[in-house]
Structure 1
Amino acid sequence: MVDARIQGKSGELVEPYPVIGHLVDTALVCGAVWDGVLSRGQRQRLAEGLGLSEADARATVMFWAGLHDLGKITPQFQDMILKARAAHRGFLGEAKYARDRDADSRTAPLRHEYASHAALPSLLAGLGYPKAGRPASLLLTQVAQVLGGHHGRYPRDNELRDLRDPLERCPELGAEGWAEQRKEHVQALYGVLGCPPVPPSRALAVTEAVVIAGMVIVSDWIASQEHVIVAQQKAAAGGGGLFTLPGLKAQARRMERLAPKLLDEAGLGTVAFKEGGFGDLFPAIDRPHPLQLSVEAGLAAARPAGPGILLVTAPTGEGKTETALYAASVMGAACGSSGVFFALPTQATANQMYGRLAEFAGRNLLASSELTLLHGAADLYTPYADATASAQDGTVEPRVLCDHTPDGLKASGVLVEAGRWLRARGRGILAPLAVGTIDQALMGVLPLKRNALRHFGLAGKTVIIDEAHAYDAYTHALMLRLLEWLGALGVPVVLLSATLTGTMAKGMMHAYLSGAGPSAARCELPAPAYPGWIYASADGSVTKPASPVVSEQGRALGMDIRHVRHTTDPSVVNGRMATLLAALEDVADAGGCAAVICTTVAEAQQTYQALRAHYRTRFGDGCLAGDDRADDDQEHGDWGAGPLLRLLHARFPAGRRASITAEAESWFGRTGKPGTRRPVGPRGAVLVATQVVEQSLDLDFDLVVSDLAPMAMLLQRAGRVWRHRHPGPPRPGWARGPRLVVLAPVNEKGELAVPRSWGEVYDPALLQRTVELLDQRRGMPVTVPDDVQGLVDAVYAEEFPSVAPEQLMERDLRRLAGDMARTALADMVALPPPRKVVSLHSLTTSDADEELVRTRLGADSVQVLPVFEDANGRWLDAGCSHRLPVCGSRADGRFTVGEVRELLNHVAPLAHGPWRAACGLAHQPPDVWAKEPRLARLVLLPHSVGNRGRVQGAVVGDVRITYDRVLGLVTERLD
């Protein structure tokens, strides 16, 4: 008989909760997860893998999930959980429950999840699970390892003696009564669930194991909520029902009724989009692009019946995003997928896509669903964070984003912003609909704690990866491993790119197909067309366009290369600044919109200052270029004289960067959007920026001037010139076609001379190849899209007719060596390919240095908060009008969600460097901030404010760091 005095949950509960109650609750929640969270395809894959019917597979997985906390039936755990509850300690003194204090003293405390892992194999063998063979290949030991990992890290493989007698290796489990009660609990749960059958399968595939592991963790979390336990305690009170099988079955029936509601409250579930053609899903698009129609026809011809991968390559403006969402709905429905994850390269691009996915889902959902935004600063993005934070207690409540009834449908799908449960750390990937950075998916192929949740969250979705070209060799290698895992998990994938080499495109598709299975891995892929698409199914069949895809963005792009000396001195005739001013002369004389894209933040700041000085000299002191007062003048229609001038880069505080970005979108954005007003007349506008405008913003310029970058990036930047066919007011007379001017740094001999200040931003070999390729074209226009794929591929060609072959060979060797080293590092830190996983233990534990386990190299930055000090204290602004809060408004001094967000709006990223080691007590935040993780990690930069408001930047080591509202964070090395 089960002893319900053995407790499993305590915490803040008035009365502790028996282990058996929690085991039953978790099992029944797992059944609801099977029904309401798993996709149709996942249920089929698990049933087939177990060799059972879907109903039997469901019951068996429920049984396993319920066993996860069996390791709490040990003297150590019971002593710990009841140490503050004297009234419940009596049974520990009974003979059959006596503690083995000698065993306790021999080893460190045994964690309860690892106790489950040690005890389960022999108990499952007692139910008929086969135990002959190597432990690592036995189903019973795999199940034990899955359950032993329910707190995030899989234990090492069981040993043979665990199958014979687990007490031999783990005497801390407790013998006699403890062993008897573990057996009784297993038998009781087994009976409550109707004696689920033993699977005939000898072992689980790793992809099945990780999905089940994710189910167990989620079920445990849902069942462990305090209000859930209290409700079950009240229902069972008075009858002693948890001591008898009928009582336990009554407990199970209660949870069976309650569990679906608990999943709804958590925001878990599946996604169903309405069916139809492209026009049905996007009724606002009067005339779909040829690419969109071609993909629609191609998927209809392919008739996908299972998972597959779709590669779409096209220049900007061809509707790739809508194409991907349409394809995701079709491919997901074909294989029973239950959600969508849209992965993007940056936080800014993820923020933009959040609104677009919300619009699509709100228009096409057939049932209610929640949407989450996944990246480190999601709570700073106003559309995601507004109206969700309570100023009183900091809790988050869901908000309806769209409640839309599609034409011709009786039911409506309500799109809801992710609520409190899904916003907890690590859970967002479980939302049916999610938008985030690619890092959120890449972490699933790193040996990190609880990566089972990422596997589970991705396994039921269709994954869209945008800007698939935008990564270095290290991150690209992780992406290949991710695609291999997605293929093995049966996840439909859509890849989008504007500038992907043919070799890289085929490599990404092959990675997916190799994970999908041997037959898929052997299929021959055609060379990707541009624009175009390729669809390959997991069964190895390949579909491509029946006829070439016609681009509606066809144009002749003027790509002019100018060899310049890298200096901001305008007096140097062939200097960078003099050449830049000449390129912008038409904008200064006759108006128009131009962008200047610089390689580094420091150079963007210097370029901005030089342009501002030049325009003020030319147009007089009345010129407002670069002055914030220009905002008011624009609002009132007074454009004044001289070009409007703005600076945008990543080293602005979040709030200030958002306001500059919004202003840039109002000047250069798509016509028809609220607030858009393109500068007209004789006064033009110039935006000086870094690579932040390359992907994240929908901007349109009459001219783009760019520092040298690899060819693919230049073509990406060219997508910002004449981006929209109808930008609003007529383009200036001097702009007779789209034009990109490239400033290539050279030495006295005219040879490429990469500035030292650029560091390792771009590979010198790719820069040399790009310069020589542009020189060879002698100013010939680039025909978009016809020339794009050839130019991108030519830069990486093995046979390259260089004018300086020895120099190029030396640079190429360094590039290849660097790429090989990065790829090798990625292979060292990443999870093994799914078919090579020997033990689940390797999925959450690595021999590699923890500092190396990351999704990107060189991406670290320090979050800094400029503060301003005068005689009256410390302030958040140079005007000393907003005091730096020492603590929050809550009774315990903690900050509300809104207060944290307001503080983080003043925070900016700054690259790591020697300055960080020089930080001391003056740079630490107030002590109370330690209670809020997002604030505790900040580094303060104290600025001194003089009597006349003169600001002196923070001196840290040999660097002065100054925050300027117009320039952002400015670093200056001290002599």
Structure 2
Amino acid sequence: MMNYWGKAQRDVMVDGPFHHLVFHSLDVAAVTDRMLRQMPWISISLLRLLGLPEGERETIIRTIVFLAAIHDLGKFANGFQQMRRDVWERFAPETERSTHWEYGGRLHHGPLGAALLDKGIALSWYQGQGADRLAAQKAVMALRTWIYAATGHHGTPPDTTKARQSLRSCFSNRNIADAESFVAWARAALGPEKMPVLPEKAARRTSMMLAGLISVADWIGSNRDWFDYEPGAIDPAAYWERALQQADIAVSAAKVVPRRPVTEPSFAHLYPEITDPSPMQVAVDGMTFDGQCLVLIEEMTGGGKTEAANLVAAKLMASGAAHGLYLALPTTATADAMAVREVEMYRRFFQEDGASFAVLHGNGAKKQAELTDSHGSTCAEWMTEDRRRKTVAEVCVGTIDQALLAALPVKFASVRLFGLMGKVFVVDEAHSYDGYTQEILIGTIRLLASAGASVVLVSATLSKAVKRSLSAAFCEGSGFPLGDASVLEDDCYPLITVLDRNGLQKPVATAPTAHAPRPKSVRMIRNVKAAEVEVLQAARAGKCVVWSRNTVDDANEAARRLREVHGHADVTVYHACFPEFRRKALQEQLLMRFGKTSKGAERAGGIVVSTQILESSFDVDFDLVVADLKPVDSVTQTAGRGCRHPRDLDGDPLPRDGRSADAREPHEIVVVAPDPFEVRNESWYSGLFPGGAWVYRNTGVLWRTAKTLQEVGKIEYPHDLRPLIEAVYGDDETPEPLKDASLDAEGRDRAERSIALPNLLDPAKGYEPTIAWGSDERVPTRLGVSIEIVFVKDDGTGAVKPLAGADWSSGRMRLSSRRITGTVPHGLTEEVVEEIKRWAGFGEIVRVVFDPLSTTWTGSLLAGERSLSFSVNDFYGLEWR
């Protein structure tokens, strides 16, 4: 069994260094052993889910370590061994070297190993313990998903259909005999005294976690910094002892074992710089959380709900109910901003330094590097090589999408689940997702709850219907009773609701924050030209104004008219369709000019035309807010960007002490909307906003928003938020001309939710290839939203360079996939494309050309069978030609 290689240096194919298969197998088993023993909550969770007593813990640990040792059993096949002929020919007899052996595709070493165990090896474990054949078959059937978890360590469960039929074309008799010898040795040396007979349903539910654990152990055990190649023929038992010692070093260096949390976290400890905590923060400071739970935090923007959620997480960690945190945010921009804001605070979760902190999103590597430069080492190097590994870090801040992938059949979903299962999963802006993504969030909460994770949902505008569905998902996953469902109907606001092993607890109502925005009157105007007049009049009077539009095209058109038709030069456009380097520069400019500490003189006369990305990205403050009609929860969020911080009549900031009143008048939001009391036909909304009608399809919701806002005429924070939400979403009143469109929209929402359902992983089925597993792109977290493209530029010599200096990734941008079917990377060599993909995170590659006369970049993308031309410039971003 020592005549096989398991790891070899890829760039040296002749007489290169290699690592014996047995030794690599023991490396991974040793890491698994050390992780299980240094992270006892993993085995404790498994015992709980399996319904086994504490006395079975050592049996379960040794079973998992044994399975980890045979994770690469398929590499005994000549089909695999022949990939390094220089090593293979040292050991294989001539008769085997002259034979063709199959390998690759569905005959990868994962499925081959699983098929070999299925062939009868696993059966012998139980028959050797005295079980008859039928009992042994049942025991193997129960253990099968655990076997798949070990052999499917490359990210997907092994499909053994072809492998079972092709064993003889991949393995020689010598291969099979040597594989059986190694399994027998590992079973005796590492396995339990008796292989356990697991409850099949429970084993399935735990198999995804096990797959994640062994995948992580395989990554660590394959790292030559910790486990260098050993070509010598050392006795396996002696090597095992050496591997255990090395695993201690590796597990410590890999930062996978959580640091000890502080034992009595308080708000003052986490946020010493905040001397006047909000009522929400004070309320959480006085609460205790006993064991796994769901916490709903409902508070308006600016009320300190994110800090309160962090404190909940710290308290759960202190109680032993969790060992880390994943803070999920709706956008890359919000994730980056939160990471910068809170990186130092998260170190206060732990008693000692060195906790790992990871930023997770499509371009998280760049932000991770920036934080490392500014704050020192934040994450173990091996984690930064792949964003899927980063979920293992103790504290993760990222987009919600990276977490939702744990519940979808994508490669290494098991690693994401393993990383999240011991964490508090905090979802910010939990209300802000469409039906498809909301359904995946429900599935993720169900899956994480089944793994023992706690969940904190944070929102300013969470409808009662959404609260009910999210709570039901948590109960289904955790097995907890819902209890008194009327708790979810409580109209108090702000509000904290807790659901634990005893069901829903009495909710905790808090006083509104002293920093709540002043009441805002709502003024309705009827067309876009009237909005232009409002914006220009305010700006010419020295105010700063934001106009929130519903599409990029609408934002660009409004900005162009304000500049070119009305002659107002001080206009800034901000939306998602800028390359990343330009969007980041715009963010910095907007924060500098309109942020919390900005001065009146620099703010005066400024106009920002934006899309919704502005209200969900960063803290800006305008004297007047104008908004195109959209659903009421979005309107209230947008309104919060007006008169957000106290200022004097000149627009200079006042102390935020709860005593300084904002002197600006009037406090209002101007909403551009058709008259809700004059609905003549189905184009009531689309006639005014044809682009917006693609974004917001449910005209019934839009009509109820317009009607409610016109009737109430004001938004008083926070008291009006709950009634406004329920008036729009808790009712179904719709004028007759809009009913068909509203019913169609509701049907599409149900259809989108139904599209999500087959994609969701079912914990009850376990880690099995019963559904089609694919890439992150093939199984999306958001339905038909966008594709990512990467711009490159000609440098004048025929070569190409990144659009933004030396950084490929900063030239990235997302576009609506509704229009785009492909890209046109004319003139790019395959080598250049591969280099860009490697640096930019596998985005589509688009070549652009600079036009010095117009200072724009031009290029083309495919839409069906025709080419669409576009331009990109610093002012408008991307525009179609």
Length-normalised TM-score, structure 2 = 0.88
What is the CA–CA distance in structure 2 between the aligned matches of 1:363 and 1:716, rounded to whole Å? 31
Shift of 1:503: 1.2
Find the counterpart in structure 2 of residue 112 from structure 1.
109
Find the counterpart in structure 2 of residue 807 from structure 1.
737
Deviating more after overlay: 418-427 vs 142-151: 418-427
What is the CA–CA distance in structure 2 between the aligned matches of 1:921 and 1:82, rounded to whole Å? 36
Match of 2:627 among 699, 703, 706: 706
Aligned-partner residue type, residue 333 of structure 1:
A
User: Does residue 969 of structure 1 match 2:878?
Assistant: yes
Shift of 1:136: 9.0
Match of 1:842 among 750, 762, 770: 770
In structure 2, stretches of 5+ residues that fail to align are: 655-660
What is the CA–CA distance in structure 1 between the aligned matches of 2:509 and 2:526, rounded to whole Å? 44
Distance 1:319 1:188, change over 3 A: same
Find the counterpart in structure 2 of residue 645 from structure 1.
571
* SS of match in other structure, 1:526: helix
User: Does residue 401 of structure 1 match 2:389?
Assistant: no
What is the CA–CA distance in structure 1 between the aligned matches of 2:565 and 2:156, rounded to whole Å? 60
User: Does residue 72 of structure 1 match 2:110?
Assistant: no
Find the counterpart in structure 1 of residue 183 from structure 2.
186
Distance 1:290 1:41, change over 3 A: same
Aligned-partner residue type, residue 743 of structure 1:
V
* SS of match in other structure, 1:154: coil
Distance 1:787 1:126, change over 3 A: same
Find the counterpart in structure 1 of residue 146 from structure 2.
143
Distance 1:250 1:530, change over 3 A: same
Aligned-partner residue type, residue 43 of structure 2:
R
What is the CA–CA distance in structure 1 between the aligned matches of 2:8 and 2:602, rounded to whole Å? 72
Check conservation: 1:213, 1:452, Cα contact below 8 A.
yes
Find the counterpart in structure 2 of residue 372 from structure 1.
358
The CA deviation string for residues 297-323 of structure 1, in whole angstroms up to 9 with x for no partner, is 2x32xx41x211100011011101110
User: Does residue 886 of structure 1 match 2:870?
Assistant: no
User: Does residue 667 of structure 1 match 2:588?
Assistant: no
Check conservation: 2:19, 2:229, Cα contact below 8 A.
no
Check conservation: 2:596, 2:653, Cα contact below 8 A.
no
The CA deviation string for residues 671-717 of structure 1, in whole angstroms up to 9 with x for no partner, is 2xxxxx32328943222111111211111122211111110100111
Distance 1:845 1:362, change over 3 A: closer
Check conservation: 1:422, 1:430, Cα contact below 8 A.
no
What is the CA–CA distance in structure 1 between the aligned matches of 2:776 and 2:602, rounded to whole Å? 57
Aligned-partner residue type, residue 266 of structure 2:
G
Aligned-partner residue type, residue 250 of structure 1:
A
Distance 1:258 1:965, change over 3 A: same
1:944-955 correspondence runs (5 A) = 945=851, 953-954=858-859
User: Does residue 577 of structure 1 match 2:577?
Assistant: no
Shift of 1:519: 3.4
User: Does residue 250 of structure 1 match 2:224?
Assistant: no
User: Does residue 601 of structure 1 match 2:590?
Assistant: no
Shift of 1:90: 4.5
Shift of 1:281: 2.2
Q: Which has the larger radius of gyration?
A: 1
Find the counterpart in structure 2 of residue 17 from structure 1.
19
User: Does residue 515 of structure 1 match 2:477?
Assistant: yes
What is the CA–CA distance in structure 2 between the aligned matches of 1:852 and 1:915, rounded to whole Å? 16
Find the counterpart in structure 2 of residue 324 from structure 1.
309
Aligned-partner residue type, residue 611 of structure 1:
L
Find the counterpart in structure 2 of residue 124 from structure 1.
122
The CA deviation string for residues 164-192 of structure 1, in whole angstroms up to 9 with x for no partner, is xx988733464644333222212222333
Check conservation: 2:114, 2:151, Cα contact below 8 A.
yes
Find the counterpart in structure 2 of residue 786 from structure 1.
719
Aligned-partner residue type, residue 506 of structure 1:
R
What is the CA–CA distance in structure 2 between the aligned matches of 1:399 and 1:480, rounded to whole Å? 37
Find the counterpart in structure 2 of residue 416 from structure 1.
378
Check conservation: 2:531, 2:626, Cα contact below 8 A.
no
Aligned-partner residue type, residue 317 of structure 2:
G
* SS of match in other structure, 1:463: strand
Find the counterpart in structure 2 of residue 431 from structure 1.
393
What is the CA–CA distance in structure 2 between the aligned matches of 1:105 and 1:904, rounded to whole Å? 39
Length-normalised TM-score, structure 1 = 0.80
Shift of 1:718: 1.4
Match of 2:710 among 775, 786, 800: 775
Deviating more after overlay: 134-143 vs 452-461: 134-143
Check conservation: 2:106, 2:159, Cα contact below 8 A.
no
Distance 1:210 1:401, change over 3 A: same
* SS of match in other structure, 1:416: coil
Check conservation: 1:962, 1:971, Cα contact below 8 A.
yes
User: Does residue 928 of structure 1 match 2:832?
Assistant: yes
User: Does residue 611 of structure 1 match 2:611?
Assistant: no
What is the CA–CA distance in structure 2 between the aligned matches of 1:195 and 1:41, rounded to whole Å? 20
The CA deviation string for residues 485-542 of structure 1, in whole angstroms up to 9 with x for no partner, is 11101101110001111111121121111110163589664325321110111x2332
What is the CA–CA distance in structure 2 between the aligned matches of 1:167 and 1:524, rounded to whole Å? 54
Check conservation: 1:266, 1:422, Cα contact below 8 A.
no
The CA deviation string for residues 444-485 of structure 1, in whole angstroms up to 9 with x for no partner, is 111112211111111121111000011111110111111111
Shift of 1:229: 4.3
Find the counterpart in structure 2 of residue 694 from structure 1.
615
Aligned-partner residue type, residue 264 of structure 1:
S
Check conservation: 1:475, 1:855, Cα contact below 8 A.
yes
Aligned-partner residue type, residue 705 of structure 2:
T
* SS of match in other structure, 1:842: coil
Find the counterpart in structure 2 of residue 467 from structure 1.
429
User: Does residue 279 of structure 1 match 2:183?
Assistant: no
What is the CA–CA distance in structure 1 between the aligned matches of 2:867 and 2:172, rounded to whole Å? 64
Deviating more after overlay: 198-207 vs 603-612: 198-207
What is the CA–CA distance in structure 2 between the aligned matches of 1:940 and 1:174, rounded to whole Å? 46
Check conservation: 2:328, 2:425, Cα contact below 8 A.
yes
Deviating more after overlay: 954-963 vs 685-694: 954-963
* SS of match in other structure, 2:497: strand
Check conservation: 1:307, 1:335, Cα contact below 8 A.
no
* SS of match in other structure, 2:258: coil
Shift of 1:158: 8.7
Deviating more after overlay: 733-742 vs 500-509: 733-742
What is the CA–CA distance in structure 2 between the aligned matches of 1:11 and 1:508, rounded to whole Å? 48
In structure 1, stretches of 5+ residues that fail to align are: 160-165, 243-247, 388-397, 403-414, 566-575, 617-624, 627-643, 672-676, 868-873, 876-882, 889-894
**Identity across the alignment (%):** 24
Check conservation: 2:464, 2:488, Cα contact below 8 A.
no
The Cα RMSD (Å) is 3.5
Aligned-partner residue type, residue 295 of structure 1:
V
Check conservation: 2:157, 2:767, Cα contact below 8 A.
no
Check conservation: 1:362, 1:401, Cα contact below 8 A.
no
Aligned-partner residue type, residue 530 of structure 1:
Y
Match of 1:766 among 701, 710, 714: 701
Check conservation: 1:47, 1:54, Cα contact below 8 A.
yes
Distance 1:281 1:226, change over 3 A: closer
Find the counterpart in structure 1 of residue 543 from structure 2.
592
Deviating more after overlay: 203-212 vs 713-722: 203-212
Q: How many residues align?
A: 844
Shift of 1:951: 6.2
Match of 2:750 among 820, 840, 847: 820
What is the CA–CA distance in structure 1 between the aligned matches of 2:410 and 2:30, rounded to whole Å? 28
Check conservation: 1:449, 1:844, Cα contact below 8 A.
no
Check conservation: 1:339, 1:433, Cα contact below 8 A.
yes
Check conservation: 1:765, 1:808, Cα contact below 8 A.
yes
Check conservation: 2:343, 2:357, Cα contact below 8 A.
yes
Distance 1:695 1:761, change over 3 A: same
Distance 1:561 1:116, change over 3 A: same
Distance 1:158 1:521, change over 3 A: farther
Shift of 1:66: 0.7
Shift of 1:374: 0.9
Aligned-partner residue type, residue 771 of structure 1:
A
